[in-house]
Every structure is written in C-alpha cells, then in structure tokens.
C-alpha cells in the first residue's frame, strides 16, 4: 500500500505539470483551431534560461524565474508575430506545418547552444523528505504541486472574469462574432501565444527541478498530446483532468507493469489511452461536440 501511495502521489504531481503544459495546447487550439507542435521546445527553452541565470550569473531562483517568464512571454509574442500571424488565415494544416518547422528550429538551437548533456538545477527547495502517513514526499514534488494548483486556479479565474479572458473565450467560440463586436482578434492571438509560452516555461522549470534538464525533455510535447486529446482539445478543464489521469496511470504503469515487461510500457500507456478514447469518445472527456450541416 505504501508503494501504491508513493506512485499515486508522484503521478498526481507529474500529472499536474502535464495539465499546466496542456493548457498551452488548449489555448492555441481554441484560438486558431491548430495544434502547436512546438510546445515541447517552449517547455525546455525556459528552464535553460533560468538555469544559466542561476549558475553563470548567480541570480537567485525567484528573480531568475521572473526573467525567464518575461523572456518566454517575449518569445511567444515574437513567434506569433513573425510565424503565425502571416498565415493565420491560411488552412489549419499550414499552421500545423509551421509549428513543426518551428519545433525543429528551436530544438536545433537548444542543441547547438546548450549541448546534449543532462544538467541539474542547484538546490532550490528544501532537501529533507517529508513523511506523511508513511509516504515519503520530496519537497520539490510538494512545492511543484502547490505552484501548479495555484497557477491553474489563477488562470481559471482569469479566463472567467478578466476582460482579456472573456475576449479569448469569445474569439474561441465565434471569431466572426467577436470581430463584429469590435474585439481585436490579433491582440487575442498574441495574448494566447504569450500565455502558452509562459505556462510551458513554468512547467519546464518545475520538471527540470524534478528530473534534471536535457534537450530530450522536449518529448513532453508528445507526452502531453494524449492529455489534450483525453480531456478534449478545446477544454481547459479537460486539460487539467486529463493531466492528472495520464500522470497517475503512467506512473502506476511504470511502478507495477514495467518490471514485468522489461520497461518501456510507461511511455506507451498514454498513447494506448488515447487510442481507446478516440474509439469510445472521439471528442474527449470534456471536448465540444461539433455538428455540421452538409
């Protein structure tokens, strides 16, 4: 039972980070109807910036994180302005292909600038493990979970009550109606990419503190894709719930099934879940079901 609880707690923490990263996928899909396949690269660039600021320039973590978030926001704006905006009226497949090219470009830049080796963050959180009812929890897991939950609550309130959040929901529901009401769709698109880049950076910094940092961490972009499909491509709530489900199931599979099959099943389980969801509920758990007249 202790082992099960250990796997469960770890899965919940990792799943919460998956949900945060998946939020970027959902925002961009709701705004443009396209998937940002460069999201994994957004996840790894932020942590590298934060790590360099901490190790090379001796900047305390909290200030390094703030600078990283500003950098990520600017990166999101630049990508939207130079890559996405010129093709925003093109077919969706053009936007998707552009993000694939962007993924290759950013991934190559990361390899060229920071190399291939794994790096570790200096100790940021307390190192003494916490014992809760026999379950040993590392403080980095606990603080990561607290930060993610806090951010998810803030973003939920932002989307529901702020003027920009309402505008983003309006554009996502009906772009033409939003334009007729005088909303700036270009401004909303820019804000969407900015927020997506920022949440990706936060998720990357937390994952980097947990597992270390290497260019292969960009694979989280593919790992989070099943989260988005499970929860529903256009559902913020689905991204959060899907993140927890995938995180817990993936971790339990790694703990119980990987020893039986020789390993590797942990990485495959999310995609098995996606195949089942696509067969049983193609729009995801909370996705909108679209009905078109032919």
What would the DSSP string read from start to end of 190-208? HHHHHHHHHHHHHHHHHHH
Helix, strand, coil % over all residues of the chain, rounded to 5:
75, 5, 20
What confidence score (pLDDT) does residue 182 get? 83
Sign of CA dihedral 104, 105, 107, 108: positive
At residue 290, the pLDDT reads: 64
Instruction: Calculate what percentage of the chain has a pLDDT beyond 90.
Output: 63
User: Closest Cα partner for 272 from 241, 229, 238?
Assistant: 229
Q: Where are the domains of the chain?
A: 2-280
pLDDT greater than 60 at residue 292 = no
For the stretch 233-249, pLDDT in tens is 889 899 999 999 999 99
The CATH class of 2-280 is: mainly alpha
- Arithmetic mean of pLDDT, 57-85: 96
Mean pLDDT of the 65-78 span: 97
3-state secondary structure of 131: strand
Mean pLDDT over all residues of the chain?
A: 91
pLDDT band of 199, cuts 50, 70, 90: very high
Answer yes or no: are the C-beta atoms of 97 and 67 closer than 8 Å: no
**Which pLDDT belongs to residue 160?**
87
Whole-angstrom Cα distance, residue 86 to residue 131? Answer: 53
List C-alpha distances in Å: 92 to 87, 183, 267, 286.
Answer: 9, 22, 29, 22
pLDDT for 294 equals: 46
Helix (H, G, I), strand (E, B), or coil: what is residue 132? strand
263 within 8 A of 269, measured Cβ to Cβ? no
* Interatomic CA distance for residues 19 and 153, integer angstroms: 12
pTM of the model: 0.92
The whole-number pLDDT of residue 133 equals 76
């Amino acid at each position: 039972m202790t082992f099960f609880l250990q796997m469960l707690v770890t899965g919940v923490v990792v799943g919460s980070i998956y949900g945060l990263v998946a939020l970027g996928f959902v925002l961009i899909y709701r705004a443009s109807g396209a998937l940002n396949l460069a999201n994994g690269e957004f996840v790894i660039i932020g942590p590298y910036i934060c790590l360099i600021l901490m190790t090379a320039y001796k900047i305390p973590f909290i200030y390094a994180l703030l600078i990283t978030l500003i950098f990520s926001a600017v990166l999101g704006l630049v990508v939207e302005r130079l890559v996405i905006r010129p093709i925003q009226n093109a077919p969706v497949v053009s936007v998707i292909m552009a993000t694939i090219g962007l993924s290759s470009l950013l991934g190559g830049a990361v390899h060229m600038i920071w190399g291939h080796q794994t790096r570790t963050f200096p100790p940021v959180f307390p190192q003494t493990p916490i014992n809760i009812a026999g379950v040993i929890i590392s403080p980095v897991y606990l603080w990561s979970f607290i930060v993610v939950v806090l951010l998810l609550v803030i973003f939920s309130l932002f989307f529901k009550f702020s003027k920009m959040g309402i505008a983003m929901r309006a554009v996502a529901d009906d772009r033409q109606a939003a334009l007729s009401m005088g909303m700036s769709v270009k401004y909303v698109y820019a804000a969407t990419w900015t927020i997506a880049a920022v949440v990706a950076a936060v998720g990357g910094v937390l994952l980097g503190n947990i597992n270390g940092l290497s260019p292969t961490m960009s694979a989280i972009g593919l790992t989070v894709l099943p989260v988005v499909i499970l929860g529903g491509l256009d559902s913020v709530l689905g991204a959060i719930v899907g993140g927890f489900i995938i995180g817990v199931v993936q971790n339990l599979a790694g703990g119980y099934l990987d020893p039986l099959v020789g390993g590797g099943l942990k990485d495959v389980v999310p995609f098995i879940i996606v195949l089942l969801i696509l067969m049983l509920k193609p729009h995801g758990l909370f996705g909108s079901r679209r009905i078109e007249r032919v």
